[in-house]
Structure 1
Amino acid sequence: MMDFTNQTVLITGSSRGIGLAIAKAFDAAGAHVILHARSEIKPNIYADFKQKPQILQFDIADAEAAEASLKALYKQDNFAGVDVLVNNAGITKDQLAMAMAPNDFAEVVNVNLNGTFNVTQPIFKKMIRQKHGAIINLSSVVGLMGNMGQINYAASKAGIIGLTKSLAKEGARRGIRVNAIAPGMIVSDMTSVLSEETQAKILENIPLSRFGEANEIAEAALFLAGSAYITGQTLSIDGGLYI
């Protein structure tokens, strides 16, 4: 277990699923965790945390709301800054290309890609002044290989990989590392609604013959946050799906 004592970690979209698993992992490693969600986070979500987390509530797709919330965060007394940012928040609106509404394409790209930028830019500016920091962006195996019915999601997640590589080059001289994680099929609310037949077909293409667990993504986030000589990389956690 890596030690993140006295470090502050902000995870977007951390009220459930992968985001919450990442938040719990950093909390267990000693970090002060800042949870984020678009809607209210109920206290029972973080009842078992070692340290009471701070809560931020705003829509990442709203650039002004993101900037205002983060500006207020940095103005708090005794706030030293964000050491690790994990951009996890995102949405899906799946549909085959021929039937996809333009608004559905635009909304997914706006939330997943533009939203990542909206949160990252204000914090990146502060990290430049701090001369240290780690940013981890959640992409997807779909951003690497594409997927039928997800041209909007795939485009947004491929864009995150490009954002990650470019930002890594900009931040390196100031001690800021930027990496991405590309999860494959992870046990979640989304996969739980799939029929047994659909799950079986997906598993045929996964060499490890199982879906991943959210805590396995969390372990990768801790690894990248604590690995001082890794930047600009995309780590696939997909059971071998993208080989």
Structure 2
Amino acid sequence: MIEFHTIMSSLLMPPLAPLLGLLLAFFLRFLPAGSLLEKFSLPLAVISFTVLWISATPAFSSWLGKRLGGAPDITGAAPQAIVILGGGRYRDGESGSERLSASSLERALWAAQHAPKDLPIMVSGGRVFRNERAAEAEMMAALLEGEVSRSVSWRDDCSRTTAENAVNSAAILHGADVKSIVLVTHWWHMPRAAAVFNSAGLQVQPLPVGSSAELLPRAREGVLRWVPSAAALLRTQTYWRELLAQAWYRFRPLPPIRKC
């Protein structure tokens, strides 16, 4: 199911979507001259190329990131715990060795540096794909306890998605009589994460890693805003995926608690 969601989301995002448009335009060009589909090949190629170019510009990725919105402003009881969401891992395909991705590392260290020191910590993240060894929660807990001397009170090592993070964390924390939390994830992920955690019954105080002020580095001002780059394309893909996920979560019920 995770593989299916990944494929479907890729079909709706750059670079795959405009590349498929270019490929289709190439094949349409060889249809009988003068046919309706053959005439459509050039406009399709121009549109696909333009979409790919714009998607890879810092100006567009910055604009798209601002469309994500902010986390819900929920005021309530003082937070009782910290929840850190996993952000992926790197895995060596030959040796099978694994380590936390840059996103996971940033979230764990951000929580250690900026979250209240007196609150207990929960880490949330399982094995997303079958060949992964350790759960992300286990890897984050090892980092926090071994490198920064912050004990971890709870681990959700079964969840694979943000919605599963929310329902699994809520079940564990409600059992410990925790109803309000400090939630730690990246700023672009926070609006969706905070909303689904609120829906799961936890009051959220957002503690985002970074902010939307990072969207346009100084080196990408002026004309450079419209010069394509791999970094800008990656940001566009990240923000577009979040917008798609926000829409998907808006119309989907919360999943059941995931056990592993």
Shorter-normalised TM range: under 0.3
TM-score calculated relative to the size of structure 2: 0.25
Q: Computing the radius of gyration over CA atoms, which structure comes out larger, 1 or 2?
A: 2
Greater percentage in helix: 2
TM-score calculated relative to the size of structure 1: 0.26
